[in-house]
Structure 1
Amino acid sequence: MPTLFPVFKQLRKLLTAAGIFGHRCRQMLNAKRYQRQFIGFALVVIGFVAACNGTSSNNSVRYTSANVQTDQLTRTVEHAMGTTQVPETPQRMITLGTFTTEALLAIDTPPIGAVARPEAYLKEQLQGTESIGYRRPDLEKVLALQPDLILGSTSLEEIYTQASQIAPTVLFEFDTSGDWKEIFASVGQAINRSERVEAVMDEYRDRLATFKERMGDRLNQLEVSMVRVYPGYFELYQEDIFAGTILLDAGLSRPPSQRGGQPVQRISKEQLHLADGDVIFLWTDGDNFESKQDAQTAIKQLQADPLWSQLEAVKQGNVYQVSGEHWIGSGPVAANLVVDDLFRYLLEEEDPS
């Protein structure tokens, strides 16, 4: 565990001033085996102080993390929760969700800590990153890592005040996964690496330009459907969902049932005709072995169903099963894997770039 005594020193002053720093707390400070308990105690105090001060303080900087230097150069960043002073060149960043994690990985700036998720396509790049919890952050672990910047989305708005007392915290507005490009650009601006973000997006656009050129006239002749299979029902993914935005960028058309409307449309087996297209990209997914097994069973049942065999894409052999992990992805890393699939299945070649 990183040394936490600078944090404890600040909290000692705070609690002494409040008249509640007694003999028991000194024991906890001086005994290594009590450090974890004290971290939890520290978070309670942080929450208490934040509540006393209110949440409308314009994110004034009161860092609890010992890693942040008071004379460090900072920049003002506007975000979903207001404005925050962040380090000019943050070095110890923590991400609270896959969107911000993937944004940092795409520009070769891995976070020191991240919320763990099961996406296999990110695991290799996250080998040196500490887990701070599964799906939701453990603030004790966040505090122990001494970050100089915390990045997340408004889905974690309820912990914003506590997180801000550990380190400057920036949350980005998140409506649907189709917002991935905007979030990527916002992360780049927040950490002062916009040029690197733009370089990554230029490469993405160049790959799609090559794809369009190789497709030629076929580009205007294909309607591409996206279907996710669950036990007992199916989902159609619309244009403004993550993979939908990539198909649009690639110049590919969508079936009428997948244009506009809700980002995801649930259909029954009797509505399978809505899933048809010239090409169908099909996937399933699960968070554990049992759910993945159930999903694979659902795929086999679908393939044996007479209603499925009546679809034109099925008759023509134009159904491609892909990885749901990156087709419902979160950023540039997953986006480029989707582009890989477009080259592989629609052009039957690897991207030459």
Structure 2
Amino acid sequence: MTLPRRSPALQRHAVRTAAVLGAAALLLTGCGSGDSGSKDAKGSAGKESAASSATRTVKDATGRAVEVPAEPKRIVTLTQEDLDMVLALGVKPVGITNGQGLDKPPAYLADKVEGVDVVGNLLQPVMDKVVAARPDLILAGDMQDEQVLKQLREITPATLVTMAPTDDWKLSFRGIGNAVNKLDRANEVISEHEAAAKAAGGKLGANKGAEVSIVRWNPGGPSWMENKQFASGIALEMGLKRPKAQNKDGNAHTPSLSLEKINEIDGDWLFLSTLTSDGEKALEDVQSKAAYKELDAVKNDHVVTVDGSVWSTRGGPLAAGVVMDDITEALSAS
């Protein structure tokens, strides 16, 4: 039985269009003011008060206008994508949620959030814990539960839905950059990532332009990822290709495939992830079956197991770095 190789980067764990963007753009700046009665002779206290109470109005991913602090100090993130993005902007939140499919923060961000309070699971905040964090800004990911959003807005009106169902990570990142008044830095980070991905793809030697299959193994079988899904996009930015069966536009995972269709997951390289223990068990079970063993990627020892809590998410700049490192290390070693 050929077992997938675990990527070195995973082992370390220690690393819409202009119109849509306009929906996240700044509408109003500096509309807050301080209490003039608090000024001392030099007006310094009044200036400090004005600075702390100054606000901006932005639109979130749903088009809702939200008044946010001009310089937010106490941010709570409700998804690992929100967390990834604020950390990439140099902002450490005061409250976070556990990672996708995890009962703890995502491993690739663990060293950056040491000591930060966990306020619930992914998109499942515990309201008492959110209150205790005293947020002045809540980044609510793709939260669609209006009752939960109502409760969050009672804690602070500065609660933003940061991503729509079809948004890619770069659009969401620009929206979050705008919300925390760091849009210029967000654009810089994206440019740096794109340059790094292109450079990395050009150094893959014999594997330059290889076809890479990107698959999550579910309890019901494998599901490959469409071209606009996060990890697929990183591979394409690196100049890699997708197998013919997987070269489809879209940002979703396909339904789980039966063994009769397992050839759809084949490629020059096969990157496999799971998210649950049931998925891990299903993958382990299939590795002894002839249909799996007959895949070219398996026969060529070109199967790499990667972290589903990174590869199967909607992504962010730091997760993009992990995916890029996983691909680079696997393909450069062959």
Query: Do both proteins adopt the same fold according to a TM-score greater than 0.5, normalized to the shorter chain?
Result: yes
Deviation at 1:320, TM superposition (A): 1.4
Task: Find 2:258's aligned residue among 262, 268, 271.
Answer: 268
**Matched pairs, number:** 275
Tell me how far apart the structure 2 counterparts of residues 236 and 97 of structure 1 sit (CA, whole Å). 23
Quote the residue 1:30 is aligned against. Answer: none
Tell me how far apart the structure 2 counterparts of residues 298 and 219 of structure 1 sit (CA, whole Å). 32
Tell me how far apart the structure 1 counterparts of residues 284 and 163 of structure 2 sit (CA, whole Å). 39
Contact in 1 for aligned 2:177/2:183 (Cα 8 Å):
yes
Q: 1:47-126 residue pairs with structure 2 within 5 A?
A: 72-79=53-60, 80-117=62-99, 118=102, 119-126=106-113
Deviations 1:215-237 (A, max 9, x none): 367433x2111122233411111
Contact in 2 for aligned 1:223/1:252 (Cα 8 Å):
yes
**Secondary structure at 1:105 match in 2:** helix
Query: Which amino acid is 1:227 matched to?
Result: V
Tell me how far apart the structure 1 counterparts of residues 134 and 72 of structure 2 sit (CA, whole Å). 12
Tell me how far apart the structure 1 counterparts of residues 188 and 297 of structure 2 sit (CA, whole Å). 37
Structure 2 portions without partners, runs of 5+? 1-31, 33-48
Tell me how far apart the structure 2 counterparts of residues 261 and 202 of structure 1 sit (CA, whole Å). 23
Quote the residue 1:255 is aligned against. Answer: 243
Using a 3 Å threshold, how does the CA distance of structure 1 residues 104 and 232 change in structure 2: closer, same or farther?
A: same
After TM superposition, the runs of 4+ consecutive aligned structure 1 residues lying more than 6 A away are none
Tell me how far apart the structure 2 counterparts of residues 300 and 78 of structure 1 sit (CA, whole Å). 46
Tell me how far apart the structure 1 counterparts of residues 80 and 180 of structure 2 sit (CA, whole Å). 17
Deviations 1:164-202 (A, max 9, x none): 2322111123215x6111111110011101122223223
Structure 1 portions without partners, runs of 5+? 1-60, 62-68
**Secondary structure at 1:172 match in 2:** coil
Higher relative contact order (CA 8 A, sep 6+): 2
Task: Find 1:130's aligned residue among 80, 98, 117.
Answer: 117
Deviation at 1:161, TM superposition (A): 2.7
- Segment drifting more, 241-250 vs 230-239: 230-239
Quote the residue 1:203 is aligned against. Answer: 192
**Secondary structure at 2:125 match in 1:** coil
**Secondary structure at 1:260 match in 2:** coil
Contact in 2 for aligned 1:112/1:128 (Cα 8 Å):
no
Contact in 1 for aligned 2:86/2:93 (Cα 8 Å):
yes
Larger Rg: 1
Deviation at 1:303, TM superposition (A): 2.0
Deviations 1:41-83 (A, max 9, x none): xxxxxxxxxxxxxxxxxxxx9xxxxxxx787111111122511
Structure with bigger helix share is 1
Tell me how far apart the structure 2 counterparts of residues 148 and 296 of structure 1 sit (CA, whole Å). 40
Deviations 1:298-340 (A, max 9, x none): 3332221111122222222211122222111331111100000
Tell me how far apart the structure 1 counterparts of residues 305 and 186 of structure 2 sit (CA, whole Å). 30
Quote the residue 1:50 is aligned against. Answer: none
Quote the residue 1:324 is aligned against. Answer: 308
Tell me how far apart the structure 2 counterparts of residues 165 and 264 of structure 1 sit (CA, whole Å). 35
Query: Which amino acid is 1:144 matched to?
Result: A
Using a 3 Å threshold, how does the CA distance of structure 1 residues 300 and 173 change in structure 2: closer, same or farther?
A: closer
**Secondary structure at 1:229 match in 2:** strand
Q: CA RMSD in A?
A: 2.3
Tell me the percent identity: 32
Quote the residue 1:155 is aligned against. Answer: 143
Task: Find 1:344's aligned residue among 326, 329, 333.
Answer: 329
**Secondary structure at 1:76 match in 2:** strand
Quote the residue 2:227 is aligned against. Answer: 239
Q: TM-score, normalised by structure 1?
A: 0.72
Deviation at 1:132, TM superposition (A): 1.1
Tell me how far apart the structure 2 counterparts of residues 199 and 298 of structure 1 sit (CA, whole Å). 41
- Segment drifting more, 338-347 vs 204-213: 204-213
Quote the residue 2:45 is aligned against. Answer: none
- Segment drifting more, 69-78 vs 125-134: 69-78
